[in-house]
Amino acid sequence: MKIPQIKKSSILLFFWSIFFFGNMSDFYAQSDTPSIEKASNLWYNTSENDTLFAGIKRMRAGISIASYYANNQLDSLMNIALEMKRIGEKFNKKRWLFHANQKISKYYFLKNEVDSCLIYLERAKINIEKKYPYLKAWYLSNIARAYSTLLNDIEQAEHYYLACLQVAETHNIDYFKRFAYFGLADIYHKKNDYLKALNYCFKTVKLKGKRLDRQKIALARIALIYEELGLKEYAKDIYSSTNELFYKPNNDDDPIQKVKNYEILLTGPASLKEAKAYFDKGISIIDSISLAEYFRLSFLHKLGHKYQENNNYDEALKYFKECLNRAQKNGNIPYQQTTYLPLAQIYLKKGEFTLSLKNCRQAEQFFGKTKKSDGYNQCSYELYKTFSKNFENLGQLDSALHYLRKSEVLLNFSNHAELTKAVISQYLKFKEEQINEIIKIKKRNAQKTAKMAAINRQKFNYIIGLILLFTIIFSSIFVTHLRQKNNFNKQLENNNQELKLKKDNLKRLNEDLNNKSYVVSHRIHTELISIISLGKEISSKGLKISEKDLLNYYQLSSTKFRILKDYCKDILTQKHD
């Protein structure tokens, strides 16, 4: 009766296991990916028999090696993403299709093919299930990055970053909170909305987690904003307050993030040598995966500024000219505008006033088309000062005075002063929070240190106690061993003495025995010779012997035998005694 029930239970268990693995397969696909070597073995060695379990293994491996190939082998990335898409369609797994479309969109993103990238991002969006907000945040972050990096459409990028932040804050997903804070800080920095940029930078710094690189880059951006606002002492304070600014992002898996990090660090606390190293690394990534031309312009412009700050004007001219030529070729107005002014300043330093004025006029034309802002006023102030210096050196004092007055008017604009005050107050608040956090950390560390010291003392006492215990045990064992050894030696010495006495006694007894043996053997030998002689004499006479002589011989031999018998008896008696 039990066998059917067992069969029924086994069948139910089998179907429940299929159901369980079917629902958990996506979790395995999103879980910690295996190493590249292990993932490659799983991907290429797993049989393509289109079973659910084989699909789970291949999806996990595909996610891992697709991320790896994004750094160097884009064609391999696309092949794996297409195979992942086929597996997802075979089993109708929405989350698998989401991952596959995300990887395909990343391929087009790295290829700088905007339309295809956005198409596959939208396809990924279709496969998002409401019960998995992590995937929605992932999609929003990717599309925000696409608009920011590929299209330079900061309005759309801001919209998607804010949407990503809303999902991340609602469901408490720290990774995408940090990602959104970081992206919004970048956008508001580009828009010269320094208060919002600083606010999101501070939020990025405060939100601790696995991706500490973004906190470090956010600190560098804070310092850059202070420099742009003329608050160089505060920027210097940020640079010198932590060693985390010297982060080297060599192990970041995302090439776009690497380039962004190098872009920030190139103008941050890096020396000229370090800045050139960051520039070379960034350009090598841009060349290898065909990134947007925006990054190349940014790197050229920032390195030119670095050389200008270090008074290396020839190198600065080389990079600014290349940046201007590329900006003109691509029709990039912002970089044309921002490059003419430093060129004019460099030519002014080199004493080439005509060329400096020419670049000043070019910059002025672009400034007339630009939206007015605090950043605009600051640049205009620098431009008018450069105009004034050039005309002064050329002897045209009226023109020099005209531009000098225009620059002085810009010194008193109220918005900039209010912004500076707000930024300083925000920095002081951040600094106070940092100090409080440091105090808390120090207290926690002090408590941990005290606790560890108590534990170490306890361990030390245990160790000392164990050492003393082992010392006592060893000493008692050693003393016991010595006593036993001494007793054994004494007993051995006594035994040796006894053996010596016995040996001497045995020797004496042997000597006595030898002496007695000699006497006995001599006595017996004598008696036997006498008896033998009598026998010979009787035998020699034969029948001629008389009866009287025969009787004498008999008596004599009997006497001899009796003597010999008594002697032997005496010897045996002495032996028993």
Q: Tell me what pLDDT residue 512 has.
A: 79
- How much is the average pLDDT of 357-379? 70
Which helix (H) or strand (E) segment holds residue 274: the answer is helix 272-289
Please write down the long-range contacts of 148-154, taking CB distance under 8 Å and 24 or more positions apart: 148/183, 148/186, 148/187, 149/109, 149/256, 149/291, 149/292, 149/294, 149/295, 150/109, 150/112, 150/114, 150/117, 150/292, 151/114, 152/292, 152/294, 154/187, 154/190, 154/191
To the nearest whole percent, how much of the chain has pLDDT over 90?
5
pLDDT band, residue 33 (cuts 50/70/90): very low
492-517 burial, b at 16+ Cβ within 10 Å, e below that, comes to: eeeeeeeeeeeeeeeeeeeeeeeeee
**Distances, alpha carbon 263 to alpha carbons 235, 238, 342, in Å:** 17, 18, 19
DSSP character at residue 545 = -
On the question of pLDDT at 567 being above 80, the answer is no
Cα gap 206→46, rounded to integer Å: 44
Closest CA to 574 of 526, 525, 520, 527: 520
Cα gap 39→262, rounded to integer Å: 30
Q: What is the DSSP string of 215-226?
A: HHHHHHHHHHHH
**Distances, alpha carbon 123 to alpha carbons 40, 106, 256, 510, in Å:** 27, 13, 22, 120
Cα gap 289→255, rounded to integer Å: 9
Can you give the pTM of this predicted structure? 0.57
Cα gap 11→554, rounded to integer Å: 124
* pLDDT tens profile 165-179: 999 999 988 888 888
pLDDT band, residue 233 (cuts 50/70/90): confident
**Distances, alpha carbon 90 to alpha carbons 56, 93, 250, 274, in Å:** 12, 8, 38, 51
Instruction: Determine contact, residues 342/320, Cβ cutoff 8 Å.
Output: yes
* pLDDT tens profile 486-526: 888 888 888 888 888 888 888 888 887 777 777 777 777 77
Lowest mean pLDDT among 201-215, 361-375, 498-512: 361-375
Q: Is the dihedral of CA 177, 180, 183, 187 positive or negative?
A: negative
Q: Where are the alpha helices (DSSP H) in 113-192?
A: 114-126, 133-149, 154-170, 174-190
On the question of pLDDT at 276 being above 70, the answer is yes
Instruction: Determine contact, residues 147/160, Cβ cutoff 8 Å.
Output: yes
| Average pLDDT, rounded, for the chain | 77
The residue among 532 and 15 whose pLDDT is bigger is 532
- How much is the average pLDDT of 33-60? 69
- How much is the average pLDDT of 220-238? 77
Q: Tell me what pLDDT residue 3 has.
A: 44
Relative orientation angle of helices 94-110 and 133-149, to the nearest 10 degrees: 10
Residues composing the chain = 577
DSSP character at residue 207 = S
Cα gap 147→87, rounded to integer Å: 30
Q: Tell me what pLDDT residue 292 has.
A: 61
On the question of pLDDT at 15 being above 90, the answer is no
36-71 burial, b at 16+ Cβ within 10 Å, e below that, comes to: eeebeebbeebeeeeeeeebbbbbbbbbbbbbbbbb
Lowest mean pLDDT among 148-162, 183-197, 271-285, 427-441: 427-441
pLDDT band, residue 429 (cuts 50/70/90): confident
Q: Tokens representing 330?
A: 């691509």
Apex CA 69: angle with CA 64 and CA 70, to 5°? 100
Instruction: Determine contact, residues 306/272, Cβ cutoff 8 Å.
Output: yes
